[in-house]
Structure 1
Amino acid sequence: MTSIFQRYADGEPTELRIQMPQRVLATTVSHYPIDVLVGHWEKYLVDPSSARDRFPWAARFVMGMPVPTWARGLEWDIGQKSRFISAVWLGGDLGSYLTNDWYEPVISSRALAVNSEILVDGQQRLHSLEEYLLDRLAIPDAQGQPRIWSELGNGVRKRFLSTIFTHVRVSSSDEVALRRTYDLCALGVVPRSFDQRAIR
């Protein structure tokens, strides 16, 4: 083992059979402001029953997106939610949320096939946003005074909504691959506990 870094080997390694792990599903990454996510959610809020008709198999909806039954529940406590919203205000790294673009209509029904358009990862962060925007979560202002969304003026709201929140997408009907991707997410470094995994 050498302590000198080389970006590429001088010659091809003799062991060409070494294969490193590959991503489970190909991803597409988009850098959108939170405002885009909120626009999607507003459409859901106009007619939530329509979403339930399209995704009758969903465990719940977060920011208007169906969550599969194999995803963990809503587990963040008030402190975790508050820290995430504070990170938005402070310009911290929000990570990303992951959805599945794939959809397939069920014949003779308004419903889409299971796992269509699901929120694969990011449920806790998106739920924190939802709670904050619905005035269920107060965040300290610059003077430390707890403030809810409806107290804020449009200027500061616009600053919040213009914050980039990276949207990662996959497109797959393969539930096993989606579950594996879900298990790998966990912010990339913290593995989900056994009881939180989709594949056991």
Structure 2
Amino acid sequence: MTSIFQRYADDEPSELRIQMPQRVPATNVSHYPIDVLVGHWEKYLVEPSSAREQFPWAARFVMGMPVPTWARGLEWNLGQKSRFISAVWSGGDLGSYLTNDWYEQESGGKALAENSEILVDGQQRLHSLEEYLLDQLAIPDAQGQPRIWSELGNGERKRFLSTIFTHVRVSSGDEVALRRTYDLCAQGVVARSFDQRAVR
């Protein structure tokens, strides 16, 4: 083993065929403002019963998106939700959310096949957004006063909704591949302890 970095090997042995794990399935990345996500959610809010007919197998809906039964439940505590919404306001890195574009109509009826259009990853973040927009979560303003969404003026609302939240999409009818992708995406927002913070 060498301690000197080399971008590529000088002499690559032809018989050496090491392959690292492959990305499955392929992804498509879009950098959309939160406003696009909210527009999708608003359509769901008009007629949630229609979504339940289309996705009868969904464990729940988050921001109008069906969540598969094999995804974990809503786990974030109040502190984690608040930190995520504060990150939106402060322009921090929001990570991304991942959906599956694949869908297949079940024969006869409005229902789509299981795992169609599901939210694969990002459930905790999107649920935090949903709670905040429904006034179920108060976030401190610049003076430290907890504020709910309905208290804000349109200028601040537009600033929030214009924040980019990366949308990653896959397209697969293979539940095993989707479950593997879900497991690879597992992450959370964990607060640093006081002694680990850069600003105290």
Taking the aligned partners of 1:58 and 1:130, their CA distance within structure 2 comes to 18
The two structures have a TM-score, normalised by structure 2, of 0.91
* Percent of aligned pairs sharing the same letter: 89
Q: Hey, what's the Cα distance between the residues in 1 that align with 2:23 and 2:13?
A: 23
2:50 maps to 50
Partner of 1:134 in structure 2? 134
Q: Which amino acid aligns with 2:7?
A: R
Partner residue of 2:29? 29
User: RMSD in angstroms over aligned alpha carbons?
Assistant: 1.4
Within-5 A mapping of 1:133-152: 133-152=133-152
* Runs of at least 5 residues in structure 2 that lack an aligned partner in the other structure: 191-200
Question: What's the counterpart of residue 193 of structure 2?
Answer: none
| Equivalent residue number for residue 72 of structure 2 | 72
**1:100 counterpart residue number:** 100
Q: Would you say 1:38 and 2:23 are equivalent positions?
A: no
Deviation at 1:186, TM superposition (A): 1.2
1:154 matched residue in structure 2: 154
For structure 1, list consecutive stretches of 5 or more residues without a partner in the other structure: 191-200
CA deviations on 1:24-55 (whole Å, 9 max, x unpaired) are: 21110111000000000000000000000000
CA deviations 1:71-92 (Å, max 9, x no partner) are 0000101110000000000111
Q: CA deviation at 1:18?
A: 1.1
Aligned to 2:195: none
3-state SS of paired residue (2:115): coil
Match of 1:196?
A: none
CA shift at 1:19, angstroms? Answer: 1.1
Q: Contact conserved, 1:85 with 1:139, CA < 8 A, in 2?
A: yes
Q: Helix, strand or coil for the counterpart of 2:32? A: strand
Question: C-alpha distance in 2, partners of 1:13/1:87?
Answer: 48
Query: What is the CA distance between 1:15 and its match in structure 2?
Result: 5.3
Corresponding residue of 1:18? 18
Give CA-to-partner distance per residue, 1:135-193, whole Å, 9 cap, x none: 000000000000000000111111110111000000011111111111110139x9xxx
CA distance in 1, matches of 2:68, 2:110: 18
Aligned length: 189
Give the deviation of 1:3 after TM superposition: 2.1
Q: Which residue of 2 aligns with 1:87?
A: 87
